[in-house]
Structure formats: structure tokens, C-alpha cells
Amino acid sequence: MLHFGLLRVVLKNRCLRGFNYKIQKMGTKKYQKVNLTSSDLSEEKLAELNRILPEVFSEDKIDWQKLKAVLGADLEPSVERFNFTWAGKANAVKNVLIPSRATLKSVKSEGIKFDESENIFIEGDNLEALKLLQKAYFEQIKVIYIDPPYNSGDDFVYNDDFIAPLRGYLEQTGQIDNDGNKLQTNRETNGRYHSDWLSMMYPRLKLAWNLLRDDGVIFISISDIEVHHLRMMMDEIFGEENFEGHIHWRRRPNQPNDSTKMIGLVAEHILVYAKNSKFLKTTGVGKVELTGKFSNPDNDKRGDWASKPWKVGAGQSGTKYIITTPTGKVYDEEWMGDLDNFNRLLADNRIIFPDSGSGSPRKKYFKKERQEEGQCASNWWDNNLYGSNQDGSAELFEIFGQKNIFSNPKPVKLIKNIVSLGNVKGGEIVLDFFAGSATTAQAVFALNQEDGLSRKFILVQLPELLNINKKDQKDAYEYCAKLGKPTNIAELSKERIRRVVTGYGQEPQPISDGFKVFKLAESNYPENNFEFDPEKTEPENQKAFLAYLNKSRQATLFSDTQTIDVVYENIIKEGLSLNAKIEKEKIADAEIYKVIDDDKRLMVCLDKKMSVKAVKELTNISYKGKLFVCLDNALDDTAKANLALNVELKTI
């Protein structure tokens, strides 16, 4: 018997596909409705299987007898087999495949240098955010670091709503009702204590696997409570052949005074998995290629050093500008960092010019620093070289001027070593989807300041409401309230990044970087926001859906404040980067948003009516094959037919 919740999902998908994905035919040409959801991973997997094994399909369905015949000896016939499972695993697997109907809305006022920076902070449920990132960032992430809830009994476990994920998120974060914070801690008395945690982690890690490059690496901090379960789940998702190591990080310098333990626990675990271990070994990992032996020919007070060219090779995201050597020789090349970084390093005596001052510039790397960066990492990371939780707390005190902002924050030094070990270079992305205190952002900024590279980050954090009645959250709550900001963890994360960028402490040192802020939100399209009733039949739901759609269509015209939100929703669901450049211009008398993301192009027009003149202009050869999105009612049938002959037309 089909569970009513799953039936509701099936009903949704049937209706959505029936009404929203309908392809309209105009003569021999077609145009489509806009994409309303993130990537449908289930359909994509079936399409890939169809491409590889078309013979096992019959009438668009998999014929299991044919599949068995093709796979032959590779099928496991035994009923008893090695398997890792838990209560709720089936739904956790299905959760990966359900597309997101949500969107991300840009919030320029909460970031810094929105139009210039390529760093991204997403406020929202990380499961929905990961789904929305699938298309644009598929196999684009170099390193993932996460510090998820440890399931200690005090940590909450994300209460994923399998049926209505966005509504569940809005309820849990107090955004659509007056019940306050609905997030619940996962107590050991819960009958599914471990299962709930595993069901929360599985879909997030599965989606993270999709985002990693072939030479990508994931690092996961975890405690003793779930480390063994996490290892088994990671073996299933990543493959045990891609296990790279189990690091024991001494998170505190002293023994804990804990009478409940026979053995004092001073370490946490960091599990490390590669996306493709064999490929990773061919590309090199955790190395900075230095030329020459460490020495100190200029008696630098910082000790022995070796050097590396400041120039970068082609395709390594360098910055082009002119450098003039002390002897007057001019180099017009692409360099490791921008001009501001170069001048800062030059003033700090970290740039040298070989060949008596005429050679191409090189950057010093001091031996002491290289040792501390842990380039040859062992499985024991001592707090002296990798920092401790106390260091993390001290860093936050210096930034915020107040204690107890976060409990047990990770130190910058630890994350710097992780990013270095993952061999993240200029232009490459570090992802942290349990951002917490945003140490990862500060670590990326710090590394870029040191070597002039332009690493980027994507952070995701749930706006988990702070509770003034909880001892470890009281100070953080009062701090946010004093600033007049929302009292949630995501707000503290963003505030830390802002302060690192603008400078903090007694001698503020601003940096020439920034970050964009996006917030998870309901779709701009009414089709996505209809709630199906599991108590009704499918025909009744379809009738109610059509009635809702007809009513909402009367108010479909978007306000000026919604326009950019609609543009970004199309950017996300067409698979363009959140760093795509958006330009507004006129084509004839139509207002068009042109979106450019490397070789991808998108045009969006939200005018209520498009003139004959504008349609004619868009049939010009220069727009041939470009993706064009507009309101369905803005075009008559003739205009649709003409446009569809030249552009890839999608209508709202």
C-alpha cells in the first residue's frame, strides 16, 4: 500500500509535469514553460541509464528481466548480503531525488561588494540549498568541509519534511507561524536516536558527492557518538576505496574534568574522503611546489624561506596587470593575486626579484609557516599546530568583543590547514553547508591574503532561532538583539564575515573582498506554492490546482521588487552560476535582463506586453539559439512562432 505522504509527492509531480512542463507546439517548432524546480535527479539518472543500456527499457520503463540478463554475473542473487541500513533510510534516499521547488533571493544589503565578490552565503535549509546548487555547481567544488551536529543530545537534528520541505523549513525557523522555534534536540530517549541523525545526513552527503570535482575532497568533523556510523555511510556514498584518512584533532590542550568517562576525551575526528582517489593521486594533493632549498640569504627575521613564481599559468584564474622590477624591467603577465595583494606583500618584504632585480617576481614562503600548514598531514593533529576550540573562542572574542557567541567554534588555523591539504588554488571553490560560526570564510580570506590567490567560498547556514533561555545561547541572542538584527545563528555567521572584511579589533585591517547573500524562499511562480491535500483524490487535487492556478494567474504580473528575484530563479533553475553577471538593457522598446555566465547566456523579459518591434529585433541572427524567457501572455501566437524559430523560447 502506498503511504499517503508518498502518494502526495506522486500527485504533485504528476500535476506539475502535466501543467508546468507541457511543451507547446507551433508548427514544426516548440517552446517550453520555464523550469519550475531544481534538477530532477531521478529523471537524469534514468536518462543516463537509457543512454548506456537502452536495451533494458520497454515503453520508457525498466524491464527487470532484461536488466538481469545484461548484468548477468554482476547481480547479487543472495538474500543475505552486507548492508548498512536504519529506520527511515528509504525515505532518506527518496529525499535526494525530490527536486526543490524553492528559490534563492538576493539580499544586496546584507553582503559586501555584491556585484564584485564571488563568495556566496546562503541563508536557509542546506538540503534545499544543495538541491538548488546541483545544476550550476555539478562537479565544480574542490573542497568541502562540514562540522555537522554531532548528535550529542543537545544538538538539534534537521527535521526534514519529506512531503513539503520548504514549508517545513519555514515552520522550523519560525517564519510562517507564531509557535516560535520548532527545532527539537535529538535526545537519546528518542526511539530513533541514531536513525534520525543518519536520515538527516544521508541526502546532504549524497548531494555533496555530486558537487565535488573528480579531484575534490571532503572533510567532516565528528565526535565519538556517530563517527562509526558516519564512516559506514560515507563508504556507501563515496566508496570505501576513496577513504583517504581518519584525522584525530586534539581540540583542547588539557584533559577534561568529566567524571562520567573512564577515558578523558580530548580529540575530535575528521573523516576524509576523495571523490576519486585514483584521479586525485595523479593531480597532486596538499602540495605547494617550491623552488630551491629553504635558506635566508637576505637575513629575514622570519627565518628560512623558499620561493614560488608570482606568475600563474594559463587558465589558473590569474589577474593581469603590469609589474616593474627594481631595475626598470616591465612584465605584463597574469599574476597569482591582484595588485593590492602584490603591493601589500611587496611592502612586507615577501616579494623578491631574482637576477639582480630584473627577474620575474617570486613570493617567499617561510619554512616555519609551511611546517605549520601541515602539508604532510598525519592522522594526529595537535592543537599547537592546528589550533584548539579555545583558539576559536579567542578569535571570536577579538571579532565580536564578547564571549560565548558560539559554543566550541573551530579555529581558523584548522580550516586553513584543511583547505591547504585539499590543494585549493585560485578561482577554486570551498563549500561549507553547516557554516555555523563561519570559520571557513575567514580561513579562505586569510589564505588569500597570505598568498594572493583568489579562492572562493560558498557557505550555507540555517537561520536557527537563538533561545535566550538557553545558557549557551543567551549571550548570542542578546548580542543580535543589541544590534537590532534577527536573533538567529545565520545572522551571527554573516556578521562575522562582515567584520572580517571591514576590519575588527584595536587595529582594524580591512581586506579587499566581500560576499553575496542569498536567502531560501518560496518560488516566485504560483504553481510551486500550491499545497496538495492527501485526503482528496487525484481528480479533486487536479481540480483544486487548476482553480488555484487560474486565480493566481490573475495576479501573475511581477512587481519591480520581484523582478530581480524572478531573474535569479531562472538563473538557478537553468543552471547558471550565482556569480553570473546581470545587465539590464533595451532591445527595441523591451526591457531585457541579459545574464552572462562564461559561455552560458540567458535573457529575461518581464514586460506585460512585447511589441512587434521587439519581437522582430529578437529574431535577428545575433540572438540565434539564445535562451529567452518572458511572460506567456506578453506574446500572441504569431510572436511565439516567430521567436521560437530563432531563440530557445521559454514562457512564464
Does pLDDT of 487 surpass 50?
A: yes
Confidence of residue 11 (pLDDT cuts 50, 70, 90): very low
Whether residue 389 has pLDDT greater than 60? yes
Could you give the CA distance from residue 403 to residue 505 in angstroms, rounded to a whole number?
A: 14
Average pLDDT of every residue of the chain: 84
Highest mean pLDDT among 49-53, 210-214, 297-301: 210-214
pLDDT at 183 over 70: no
Asked if 252 contacts 293 with a C-beta cutoff of 8 angstroms, the reply is: no
- The label of the residue with cell 502526495 reads 8
Neighbours of 218 (CB within 10 A): 26
Rounded average pLDDT over 178-194: 59
Give me the mean pLDDT over the 631-639 stretch. Answer: 91
Mean pLDDT of 172-185: 55
Looking at the predicted structure, is the pLDDT value of residue 290 above 90? no
pLDDT at 80: 67
Residue type, 507: E
The pLDDT-based confidence of 227 (bands split at 50, 70, 90) is very high
Higher pLDDT, 348 or 458: 458
What pLDDT score was predicted for residue 169?
Answer: 75
Say which residue the cell 584525522 belongs to: 247
Q: What is the pLDDT of residue 178?
A: 45
Dihedral sign, CA of 120, 123, 128, 130? positive
Whether the per-residue pLDDT at 32 is higher than 60: the answer is yes
Q: Judge contact between 410 and 416, C-beta under 8 A.
A: no
User: In terms of pLDDT, which residue wins out, 356 or 529?
Assistant: 356
- Pick the range with the lowest mean pLDDT from 444-458, 470-484, 541-555: 541-555
* The pLDDT value given to residue 283: 66
The residues that bridge with 246 in the sheet, in sequence order, are 271
Kindly state the cell numbers that stand for 311. Answer: 606568475
Tell me the pLDDT band of 47, cut-offs 50, 70 and 90. Answer: confident
pLDDT for 538: 81
104: which DSSP letter? E
pLDDT band (50, 70, 90) for residue 551: low
CA–CA gap between residue 198 and residue 420 (Å, rounded): 29
Average confidence (pLDDT) over 557-561: 65
At residue 25 the predicted structure's pLDDT band, cuts being 50, 70 and 90, is very low
Is residue 506 very low, low, confident or very high in pLDDT (cuts 50, 70, 90)? confident
Is 187 a residue whose pLDDT tops 60?
yes
Determine phi and psi for 11, rounding to 5 degrees: -60, -45
Whole-model pTM: value is 0.80
Locate 270 and state its grid cell. 575528521
Spatial contact of 420 and 444, defined as CB atoms under 8 Å apart: no
Q: How far apart are CA 108 and CA 516, in angstroms?
A: 7
The cell for 519 is 536567502
Provide the strand spans (E) within 368-428: 380-381
Show the cell assigned to 242. Answer: 576513496
**Contact 59/550 with Cβ under 8 angstroms?**
no
Looking at 88-92, 380-384, 529-533, which range is the least confident one? 529-533
What structural domains and CATH numbers belong to the chain?
A: 103-285+375-520 (3.40.50.150), 291-370 (no CATH), 526-651 (no CATH)
- Of 380, 459, 373, 389, which Cα lies nearest the Cα of 422? 373
pLDDT of residue 314: 52
pLDDT value of residue 175:
67
Give the torsion sign (CA, 497, 499, 503, 505): negative
Q: E strand or H helix at 46, and its extent? A: helix 41-52
Q: Per-residue pLDDT tens for 425-435?
A: 889 999 999 99
Mean pLDDT score, 487-492: 94
- What angle separates helix 41-52 from helix 89-97, to the nearest 10 degrees? 80
* Cα–Cα distance, 547 to 10 (Å, whole number): 20
**Span 141-163, mean pLDDT?**
80
How far apart, in Å, are the Cα atoms of 542 and each of 9, 167, 456? 13, 20, 45
Question: What pLDDT, in 10s, does the model give residues 259-268?
Answer: 677 777 788 9
Reported confidence tier of residue 376, pLDDT bands at 50, 70, 90: very low
Query: Span 518-531, mean pLDDT?
Result: 85
Query: Is the model's pLDDT at 287 over the cut of 60?
Result: no
All residues at 6 or more sequence positions from 534 whose CB lies less than 8 Å from its CB, including other chains: 4, 5, 7, 8
Dihedral (Cα; 54, 60, 66, 71), 10-degree rounding: 50
Confidence band of 557 (pLDDT split at 50, 70, 90): low
CA dist., res. 201 & res. 226, Å (int): 11
The three-state secondary structure class of 550 is helix
Amino acid identity of residue 192, one-letter, is R
Poorest-confidence range of 43-52, 265-274, 312-321, 622-631?
312-321
Are 387 and 411 within 8 A, CB to CB?
yes
| pLDDT for the residue numbered 578 | 97
The predicted pLDDT at position 286 comes to 46
Band (155; pLDDT cuts 50, 70, 90): low
| Residue 473 CB neighbour total at 10 angstroms | 20
pLDDT band at 36 (very low <50, low <70, confident <90, very high): confident
Give the integer Cα–Cα distance in Å for 21 and 40: 12
- Determine the pLDDT at residue 111: 97
Q: Contact 497/557 with Cβ under 8 angstroms? A: no
Percent of the chain with pLDDT over 70: 82
Share of residues in the chain with pLDDT > 90 (%): 52
- What is residue 344's predicted lDDT score, i.e. its pLDDT? 87
**Quick one: pLDDT band at residue 351, thresholds 50, 70, 90?**
very high
pLDDT at 399: 95
pLDDT of residue 652: 86
Q: What is the pLDDT of residue 241?
A: 95
- pLDDT above 50 for 20: no
Encode pLDDT of 236-273 as tens digits: 999 999 999 999 999 887 776 666 777 777 889 999 99
Distances (CA, A) of 541 to 25, 203, 591: 27, 29, 37
Is the pLDDT score of 323 beyond 80?
yes
Considering 206-210, 282-286, 359-363, the range whose residues carry the highest mean pLDDT is 206-210
* Amino acid at site 553: R
pLDDT in tens, 589-607: 999 999 999 999 999 999 9
Q: Which of 182, 191, 184, 233 lies closest to 208 in space, CA to CA?
A: 233
Give the pLDDT confidence score for residue 3 in this predicted structure.
35
